[in-house]
Amino acid sequence: MTKLGQYAVFIILIGIIGISSMFAQQTGGAGGSSTADIEKMMQAAATPINPDALKTEALPVDNIISPQLYHIGPSDVLAVQILAGASVEYLLSVTPENSILLPRIGEVSLNGKTLSQAKDTIIAIIQKRNSNAVVSVTLRKPRLCYVTIKGNVLSPGMYSFPASMKVSTAIKLANQEGPSGAAATQTSRSKPPISEADKLLFKSSASGLSSFVARNITVLHSDGTSETADLEKAIAMGNAAADPLIRESDEIYVPFEASSNATIAITGAVRSPQIVSYKKGDKASLLLKLSRGASENARANSVFLVQNGERRALKTDANLNLTEPDIELQAGSVIVVEKENQQTGMRQQGIVEVTGNVKLPGSYIVESNVTKLTDVIEQAGGFTNEAYLPLSYILRREREFQTTEQKGNQILQGLQYTDLVPEDTSRFILHNKERRPLVSCDFVAAFNRKSDTDNVVLQDGDVIVVPANPQRVFVYGQVNKPGYLAYTPNKTMEWYIAQAGGFAAGADKSLARIVKGRTKVWSFGGEDNIVQSGDEIYAPPPTQKPIGYELQGYTLLVSAIGAVVSLAGFFYGIYLNSTR
């Protein structure tokens, strides 16, 4: 081929390439940038986070988040996926200004937006450039937030938690003994013990907190807004908004137990009888959900609401779901799901619990300060054959819950103004630490001797405990064979000590005492004091006197003798002077 022919072919090829390029620009530019252009732009301009970082920094998750409730914040990692011929995913980090940078599009503010709103914003911007693009936006990694937890928790302070965590979980971690997974380092300290009486009187809700505390948690946000977490409602109704997700700089205040607060309750033939702190706006459906459904002995179509002294039937299905419009409750309202053999027609406004050896243990409605002990036991079907009245008792709720540590501090504060001697002070502190909130009554007298004094009037929140007969007596101290002995009726302390091998060497027989099972009162032995099942017998060693105690006694004796001699000399001198 001649040189002229070669030049002609070269010019033709250049022309073909130019025409192809112009055609590609025309077809790709009709609707703005093409999908390929967007992908190239993002590849060129974006600096996606290394995916390996997501694998090495896994954060604990306590729930599936709702995009409508999760608020976007700095350091959240969003995944943007574009489907248009090829599938490409990009990871974008939210800036400290709460925005993201979309390549060749610019800054997009996500301030104040929820995850759902952020998704809509990003998708709309990308599809504005290419309406054919299918865009997905998800949260790939939640940020870590510093939050402050105050008030009624074991370890108040500042914590670092993922923003996907609920308020309830944050509080649980703040109530753990010592540091835990996501929590900031805290000083570990022993949790004050809770007495058995307090465990019966101050039962926790499903959240692990008392009802009042669980329903009145305040969350203060850094933007000046606040909300109240209601953990009881969140659990019962599945209401995620009632247990909000945390945000950066949140202050979570957990209240202390109120000395008095209104309550509502559900009792009777339900799986979980409840006494719940009342909040305005509470409805019957809340109590029905908290009860976890009807028990097997529930009477069909026998669900009643007792409110303002009136009793009205509620229409529910077999699972205690309302089949009529919901009803707003008032303070003191009680829902009763009647049992097959439960008496009807009662209109009391309080609730007490009967536990132990009765035929129908559970919660019962009472008219506070009117209904008597025997009335409630009758509602509970009476005692079982195993019930032991000498050990039965009633617990009455204190004005407010106090741990053993708090009670001790209160006792010490009161001792600032006492004139007790050191020995009496020690005894006073010991007795107060072991004090139980008992109601003064004798079940044997109330039920066997029909004592009206012991048939006490009950109050809302009382707990009646009817234990079984232990059929044993515990003998300990200075005896040859200490331990449990089988109970034998109508026997004295001396008889049981003999069964325990008698007094050991060095025992002070005069100090032996019966420790009564219910009251823990010490009493003397003798023919008139019969030991009962559940009692204890203590035979102490001789009293150990402190070093120098006897020397002090001798010193006092010598001082007294010296004083007597001095007085005698004084009067003798007067006598001699008078005879001269």
Task: State how far the alpha carbon of 281 is from the alpha carbons of 107, 263, 309, 424, 544, in Å.
Answer: 43, 13, 20, 52, 64
Residue 512 belongs to domain with CATH number: 3.10.560.10
Q: Would the CA dihedral through 175, 179, 185, 190 be positive or negative? A: positive
Is residue 132 domain-shared with residue 150, that is, in the same domain?
A: no
pLDDT bracket for residue 157 (50, 70, 90): very high
Is residue 149 domain-shared with residue 250, that is, in the same domain?
A: yes
Task: Give me the mean pLDDT over the 514-528 stretch.
Answer: 80
Of 162, 168, 171, which Cα lies nearest the Cα of 142? Answer: 162
User: Is residue 529 over pLDDT 70?
Assistant: yes
User: Is residue 484 over pLDDT 80?
Assistant: yes
Is residue 500 domain-shared with residue 533, that is, in the same domain?
A: yes
Is residue 82 domain-shared with residue 115, that is, in the same domain?
A: yes
Is-contact 147 249, C-beta < 8 A? yes
Of 234, 208, 71, 231, which Cα lies nearest the Cα of 145? Answer: 71
Is-contact 375 279, C-beta < 8 A? no
Is-contact 504 478, C-beta < 8 A? yes
Q: Residue 402 is encoded by which pair of tokens?
A: 């106090």
Q: Residue 346 is encoded by which pair of tokens?
A: 């009662």
% of the chain with per-residue pLDDT over 70 = 72
The pLDDT of residue 34 is: 44
Is residue 53 domain-shared with residue 124, that is, in the same domain?
A: yes
Task: Give me the mean pLDDT over the 21-40 stretch.
Answer: 44
Instruction: Report the DSSP beta bridge partners of residue 83.
Output: 87, 134
C-alpha span between 346 and 552 (Å, rounded): 69
Return the residue matching tokens 């069964």.
499
Is residue 129 domain-shared with residue 175, that is, in the same domain?
A: no
Give a yes or no: residue 549 inside a domain. no
The mean pLDDT of the chain is 78
DSSP H helices, 415-548, are: 422-433, 443-447, 493-499
Give a yes or no: residue 534 inside a domain. yes
Give a yes or no: residue 288 inside a domain. no
Of 458, 544, 475, which Cα lies nearest the Cα of 508? Answer: 544
Domain end call among 127, 142, 157: 142
pLDDT bracket for residue 28 (50, 70, 90): very low
Tens-digit pLDDT profile for residues 313-342: 999 998 899 999 999 998 878 888 887 765
> In this predicted model, which residue has the larger pLDDT, 39 or 371?
371
Domain end call among 254, 270, 302: 254
| pTM recorded for the entire structure | 0.56
Is residue 150 domain-shared with residue 196, that is, in the same domain?
A: yes
Of 234, 248, 241, which Cα lies nearest the Cα of 205? Answer: 234
Is residue 128 domain-shared with residue 157, that is, in the same domain?
A: no
The pLDDT of residue 38 is: 45
Provide the 8-state DSSP code for 573. H
pLDDT bracket for residue 343 (50, 70, 90): low
Of 99, 42, 246, 104, which Cα lies nearest the Cα of 164? Answer: 246
% of the chain with per-residue pLDDT over 90 = 34
3-state SS, residue 556:
helix
User: Is residue 288 over pLDDT 80?
Assistant: yes
User: What is the domain count for the chain?
Assistant: 3
> In this predicted model, which residue has the larger pLDDT, 177 or 399?
177
Tens-digit pLDDT profile for residues 181-217: 444 434 334 444 455 555 555 555 556 788 889 999 9
- Residue 47 CA, chain-centre distance (Å), reads 46
Tens-digit pLDDT profile for residues 345-383: 444 457 788 888 998 877 778 877 788 999 999 988 899
Is-contact 150 187, C-beta < 8 A? no
Is residue 152 domain-shared with residue 133, that is, in the same domain?
A: no
Give a yes or no: residue 511 inside a domain. yes
Domain containing 523 equals: 472-539
Give a yes or no: residue 328 inside a domain. no
Give a yes or no: residue 42 inside a domain. yes
Sequence-distant (6+) residues with CB within 8 A of 332 are: 262, 263, 264, 278, 307, 349
Is residue 135 domain-shared with residue 155, that is, in the same domain?
A: no
- Measured torsion, CA atoms of residues 287, 290, 294, 299, in degrees rounded to the nearest 10: -20
Provide the 8-state DSSP code for 4. H
Task: State how far the alpha carbon of 52 is from the alpha carbons of 45, 73, 94, 274, in Å.
Answer: 20, 22, 18, 49
Q: Among 13-22, 245-254, 386-395, 450-459, whose mean pLDDT is lowest? A: 13-22
The residue ranges of DSSP E strands in 225-279, in sequence order, are 226-229, 251-254, 263-268, 274-277
Give a yes or no: residue 188 inside a domain. yes
Domain end call among 74, 108, 142: 142
3-state SS, residue 304:
strand
Is residue 61 domain-shared with residue 121, that is, in the same domain?
A: yes
The pLDDT of residue 516 is: 86
Is residue 176 domain-shared with residue 249, that is, in the same domain?
A: yes
C-alpha span between 151 and 127 (Å, rounded): 49
The pLDDT of residue 285 is: 93
Give a yes or no: residue 348 inside a domain. no
End-to-end CA distance of the chain: 177
